[in-house]
Amino acid sequence: MKNKIILLSVALLSFLFQSGCSLSIESEPESNAEIIVDTVIDEPKVDYLSVGKDLAMQTKANLGKNLGMALSEKGAAGAVEFCNTRAIPITDSMSIVLNAKIKRVSDKPRNENNQANADELAYIQEWKNAKLKEEVLAPKVTEQNGKMIGYYPIETNAMCMQCHGEPTKQVNKETLSTISKLYPTDKALGYAEGEIRGIFVVEMDKK
């Protein structure tokens, strides 16, 4: 009997250790939307700039990975629908898993829910100016109402062009028509590679 109890607690402990306390998810994903996490934020002295950067980069990696899968399975027009239904939920679930509030905003949003506010617009403009002057883009962290808020630039690359590039030249007709159907107020076309497309905003509890 005693042995059984010990065995049970060992099993319970190892279950807790694997799934509860550590934030890493290693089990098989249920759908093809995978979430990978490898950060635990509980250091006593927190470097918010780099913690926030890590959270933003993990979110970016998950979005990028899922977008890549959608693109290869469905092509650009189909992947637009994927972004339409999954981009915000994936970002939100990263927020829950990583215990921070993470969002992507832009001065020229496709989804109007991703419109940058006045503070965020100012940061985006700073980064755009820095780019023009060919300066290094430094991420920022500020404190607001007892929260630490990190801002991290998002740049375009070649892959983005099929949905954010020059209409008809880079974004094909089928993709354009899906975009205009789903986003009648879309402002996110006409980008070139290496431009500031928006920012990640990461809101962290101050420890």
- Binding stretches for ligand HEC (CB under 6 A): 67, 71, 76, 79-80, 83-84, 87-88, 104, 106, 109-111, 114, 154, 156-157, 159-160, 162-164, 188, 197-198
Q: Residue 57 CB, nearest distance to ligand HEC (Å)?
A: 13
Q: Return the number of the residue (39 or 162) whose C-beta is nearest ligand HEC.
A: 162
**206: which residues sit within 8 A by CB, 6+ positions away?**
143, 146, 147, 148
Length in residues, the chain: 207
Q: Residue 117 CB, nearest distance to ligand HEC (Å)?
A: 13
Q: Residue 44 CB, nearest distance to ligand HEC (Å)?
A: 33
Q: Return the number of the residue (129 or 157) whose C-beta is nearest ligand HEC.
A: 157
Which is nearest to 77 in space by CA: 176, 186, 191? 176
Cβ–Cβ < 8 Å for 171, 30: no
Q: Residue 196 CB, nearest distance to ligand HEC (Å)?
A: 9
End-to-end CA distance of the chain: 44
User: Dihedral sign, CA of 32, 64, 56, 43?
Assistant: positive
Q: Return the number of the residue (55 or 76) whose C-beta is nearest ligand HEC.
A: 76
